[in-house]
Structure 1
């Protein structure tokens, strides 16, 4: 025996006689010669396994040892079974099998043919206990929700149809295949609509409510004029926003005045009393003090600005000192419309007849959307139009082309169009100026609108001179 083996061996003597040497147990274990089995460290069941995507839905702790609800070392698992966290067993709900709570055993069971067959037939409905579990959103889930909200807001801001979002999400996933957030986006037109109405819209409404509760503001309202069974009232608010240090106008609410389901209200109509009642009801339902209203603006119809029975008169009674203002743009439009009634009817009829003559043409490239653009186009194309309708009248002898032919050859009609071409831009520019989001009443004189109209050629008569004096 070598010296190394003699050193590593232990010799015993009995009765003065030398016995054989015994090898230490740790050496035998190292060489694989030991008859004793190595001790295996027992593992405990870990609840973190249940959140693993490979084990989620079927893995739970074994419910062999029950505890009271007040016990410290217990947890609530599927179907209201209270089990010990110290249990060394795990259970598969799909196979109804119990096995040792070791990760290797769990993985092997998940790969077994029996389990794969059972997991396909397993019901996908959640248990009652799952309803009481609070789902913790991870950072990735929050980023996916944030992306869905931003996409819905983008569609709303740019007035894009929600029908396009079904294709938009698939395009995003194809463009960014390596993005986990893009893969997790689930947004169709129904969900996008609900996100805008119940998430973005409600959040913005609550933020505006908080601002109106602590700030003085003005109401700007306008009722719908379309022919429908539902009558609505749009309400905007204007106030000084301290954060931006500027006067801000925001859309607040769309109030339904009546619907087709209530014929009595529909027959009553959008009266001043009903409009005032619905406005006050909406403000009080949001716990906004009525005393915070310091201004009111709307168009000049009788229900809004009548002297005795209107929304403005009722607001003056309820809130003494309130500032009321008619819409300047609407007033300018009424002035221009009333002044145009002094012109011959043939001027307007000629513009309509020319449009109706060309509206079915496949070569038509523009649509006349306003009176000014119509006048500009007719003045610009007066001679070509006159020659065209002259030839058309001589060749086809149509009644429609005959009326246009006579008007285009009437010099007095052309003079009226030249006058409209000069005066209408002044009203249009003034109207656009007042459509600004900012307060511009103080800049009116500096912009020269008043001086331009006052000092024009038409105002150099005695009437204007008397007005100056």
Structure 2
């Protein structure tokens, strides 16, 4: 026979209208089974018997006298100010813990503040335990920052950057970053929106979870016009489902360009660079994973370089784009020292790995291959840096990508050939004597290789470059189209006085899903925008921000539709770098020592961190509104309620504004 479930009394709102409870009985936020006394600043079980018992205690009778007499009204403003100062201190400390460290540290820090700043009223009344700190972050700060993002997005078109990952507990999460034009900041921003736990990783489950998430955030999914993700097939399928669910045939999907560059380099290297080179790169790092070997190498390096210390051999990461580039540079800069180290190790130890690595470092052709990789990867890394930068000018990205393809292809293409390097295959237009760059050519001449060996190295290197160009051409067509749309709205192109036609701007407007009537206005405004003398023409975003705020003599904006189209195109995603950074920050917030952190707290911590970053402020610089500080079981809003309102069902401003957001965060 099963044990019957015991009934647990919960707090009831109608108790506050009972005459003997009126004015001082309040709920405890985060615990429905307890009630709070605003006079005594203490809580009790949410049972009528316990509440009545508390109301007749000597402490409660003494504390209630100032509130029940006309003579006692004067000290209340001081009490309100005192509580506000204390709550401001608690909110600042909660932001600091969310931004920098574990919540567990708040318990000792609260007591340390009382001791260290005993002459401070705020420090004396400072109360901060782990649970309270978590509730302030979850119930006050996170809804506040989330509401700021939702308000800032408004009716603007926006894009979402999506990616999947696992946390330290191997739970599958979908990271969501929103990209939009912020009217308040006057620029295009990308910021954290939420982390969604996935029941399954199939396209239908991901699309369903994402749509439910947008509905809970009260963000109009009809304004979603771009999806940025990696090039995995599951994300392509998610895009197709979202087009149906959002009833938008113009939802643009753009694969991450950085991810495409990484895949292109990997595919070209796999087929054309000897496996011995890959072994050398990978096993050099593995060799120095033992501290004793690092100490031996430090001595060898110091003897060769007059006591200097060596830089650490880095690891090729499977999750970082082009992580092989710094590894190749480091190995080449330490080549002679590493060769001596493995020669000595081979002589002193019977180790097969040392023998193989010594043979790899003695092979001159490996040095030549690494030199070519360094030359090519440095160009690719420049392109990756331009795409993953947070302050990148979108209209210049197309030129960066074209420059990358040009720099790679010109190494092997015949100078007299007339081809489109973005589309045409270069294999039929190769130079009979290609010049593979100064670094490679000078290195090859210094190595003094046999003619047959040098010929084989050149053949392999040319095949590598041809394969890399083919991989880039096959992976980037969609990205190039999106970048052309962005480049169309550059300042110089927009203000060009003599235009041959408007076909391109019509094509972009149709791609973004504008109706024919709106497209007519866009074309007309596109023809006339150069007639106005604009002040801010240095950067693209500054220019369009000025256009957005421009008004004529009637107070209307004559370029509203064109401006909306331009900002929508410029807010399309071009890289998934921000989601990659998000998962890095998630790993810092939810580490092995904090693996029990709930999804609600994880979302709240990330919302606080990204909210402060978006505001351009730190935890101690950000000033919270007064209504946000009226949180929790404290006397601030209780006193105001007792003085200024007879409506017993009245809630504080932050409760009214954030009630749905708190429920939403609690449901994650």
Q: 1:137 to 1:420 in 2, by over 3 A?
A: farther
Give the 5 Å matches for 1:155-174. Answer: 155-157=97-99, 159-174=100-115
RMSD of equivalent CA atoms: 3.5
Any conservation in 1 of the 2:277–2:370 contact (CA below 8 Å)? yes
Change in 2 beyond 3 A, CA 1:341/1:456 = closer
- Work out the CA distance in 2 between the residues paired with 1:181 and 1:270: 49
Deviation at 1:174, TM superposition (A): 4.3
Whether contact under 8 Å (2:227, 2:239) holds in the other structure is yes
Deviation, 1:333, is 1.6
Corresponding position of 2:352: 399
Residues 171-203 of structure 1, C-alpha deviation per residue, up to 9 Å, x if partnerless? 444443322212222223433333222221122
Partner of 2:275: 345
1:267-282 equivalent positions in 2, closer than 5 A: 269-282=200-213
TM-score (norm 2): 0.46
Unaligned runs of 5+ residues in structure 1 are 1-55, 58-77, 83-91, 102-133, 259-268
1:292 aligns with 2:232: no
What residue number does 2:260 align with?
331
Structure number with the bigger relative contact order (C-alpha 8 A, sep ≥ 6) is: 2
| Residue 322 of structure 1 pairs with residue 251 of structure 2 | yes
Q: Which moved more, 1:403-412 or 1:339-348?
A: 339-348
Instruction: Select the structure that is richer in strand.
Output: 1
Which residue matches 2:87? 145
Mapped to 2, the partners of 1:240 and 1:402 lie a distance apart of: 58
1:434 touches 1:440 (CA, 8 Å); kept in 2? no
Work out the CA distance in 1 between the residues paired with 2:386 and 2:107: 40
TM-score (norm. length: structure 1): 0.63
Cα shift at 1:424: 1.6
- In the alignment, structure 1 residue 245 sits paired with structure 2 residue 186: yes
Among 192, 199, 212, the residue aligned to 2:140: 199
Which secondary structure state, in structure 2, belongs to the residue aligned with residue 255 of structure 1?
Answer: strand
- Within 5 A, what are the aligned runs for 1:25-424? 79=52, 93-94=57-58, 138-157=80-99, 159-225=100-166, 228=169, 230-258=171-199, 269-305=200-236, 310-317=237-244, 318-342=247-271, 343-361=273-291, 363=294, 366=312, 368-369=314-315, 370-424=323-377
Residue 73 of structure 1 is matched in structure 2 by none
Question: Separation in 2 of the partners of 1:320 and 1:177?
Answer: 64
Distance across 2 between alignment mates of 1:146 and 1:237:
30
Number of residue pairs matched? 335
- CA deviations on 1:240-273 (whole Å, 9 max, x unpaired) are 2112221122211111112xxxxxxxxxx31111
Tell me the distance in 2 between the aligned counterparts of 1:339 and 1:226. Answer: 32
Distance 1:458 1:164, change over 3 A: farther
The Cα of 1:375 is off from its aligned counterpart by: 1.2
Match of 1:214, SS state, is: coil
Distance 1:301 1:452 in 2: 24
Which of the pair is proportionally richer in helix?
Answer: 2
In structure 2, what is the Cα distance between the partners aligned to 1:455 and 1:428?
Answer: 13
Q: 1:468 to 1:327 in 2, by over 3 A?
A: closer
Q: Secondary structure, in 3 states, of the residue corresponding to 1:466?
A: coil
Structure 2: unaligned runs, 5 residues or longer: 1-38, 41-50, 66-75, 296-310, 316-322, 422-668
Q: Describe the shift of the 1:135–1:289 C-alpha distance in structure 2 as closer, same or farther (beyond 3 A).
A: farther
1:276 shift after superposition? 0.9
In structure 2, how many angstroms separate the alpha carbons of the residues matched to 1:245 and 1:154? Answer: 27
Whose radius of gyration is greater, 1 or 2? 1
Answer yes or no: is 1:465 the counterpart of 2:417. yes
> Contact 1:283 / 1:290 at 8 angstroms: preserved in 2?
yes
Structure 1 456/229 Cα, relative in aligned 2: closer, same or farther at 3 Å? closer
The verdict on how the C-alpha distance between 1:188 and 1:431 changes in structure 2, with shifts beyond 3 A counting, is farther
Q: 1:427 to 1:94 in 2, by over 3 A?
A: same
Contact kept, 8 Å, 2:163 with 2:229, in 1: the verdict is yes
Q: Is the 8 A contact 1:271 1:303 kept in 2?
A: yes
